[in-house]
Every structure is written in structure tokens, then in C-alpha cells.
Amino acid sequence: MPRTTPPKQCLRTPPPNRLLLTLIAVAAACGFIACSSMPPRTPAERAADSQIADEVEATLAADPDIYARHIDIAVDRGVVHLGGYVWEPGDFQIARRDAASVPGVTAVITQMELKRAGTSGPSR
């Protein structure tokens, strides 16, 4: 008589507890958001940012190589955000250079658009 082997038994693992996994994911997301958000600016930081914004605006206005009337300036903890638009492609670099030359500026983020002959394109 041929020898038969017993059927293989399949070990099943219980399905993971979806509620527990969801709670872990939510807790991790909350921890990430809490660690990545900045505390509110102090009055001294707001005053320093306001002074930097004024100096960047004056520096851009004094530069004869750029028409900066349409450039918006915002400062947050020493980081200058330049918005609005410029007329020439080289004005992106001039505006960045002028803003970076102001004492207290830690970084310059350019979000300006190029307006030329009715066309526009975002800065890169």
C-alpha cells in the first residue's frame, strides 16, 4: 500500500487589529505635526522681521538696475519671501541678491512671476 503523507496544515495569523493600527497612525501623525510646527513669533522677532522688510524694500528701491515697485516683501524669522512680478528675467537674480545683502536675512525665497509682453511664467 502506498504511503501517504498527512496534509500540510496552513498556519494562519490573526488579522491585525485595524483600530489599533489606526490609533497608532493618528498618534504618529499628531506627533509629527506637533514637532514640525513653529511656536508663535515673539514681539522682538516681529520687530526684527519688520525692520528687515523695510531694509529690503529700501535696498530694492535704491537699486537702479531693477524696477521693484511690483515686488512684495514678507519676512518670517529672517527668511525673506519675494512675491509679485518683475519685467526682465535677470530681475529675479537682482532681487535675490539685493535681499540677501541685507543684514539679518538668513534665506531668500523667490515666488515672483515674469510679466513680459502680456505673458507670464513662474520663477524657478
| Alpha-carbon distances of 36 from 7, 24, 33, 79, 108, rounded to whole Å | 55, 18, 5, 17, 21
Its sign, for the CA torsion 113, 115, 116, 117, is: positive
Tell me whether residue 55 is in a domain.
yes
Neighbours of 29 (CB within 10 A): 10
CATH number at residue 48: 3.30.1340.30
* Domains in the chain, number: 1
Tell me whether residue 6 is in a domain.
no
What cell was used for 75?
519676512
Q: What is the mean pLDDT of the chain?
A: 82
Strands 71-76 and 79-86 turn out to be antiparallel
pLDDT tens column, 57-103: 999 999 999 988 899 999 999 999 999 988 888 898 999 999 999 99
Would you say 80 and 99 are in contact if contact means Cβ atoms under 8 Å apart?
yes
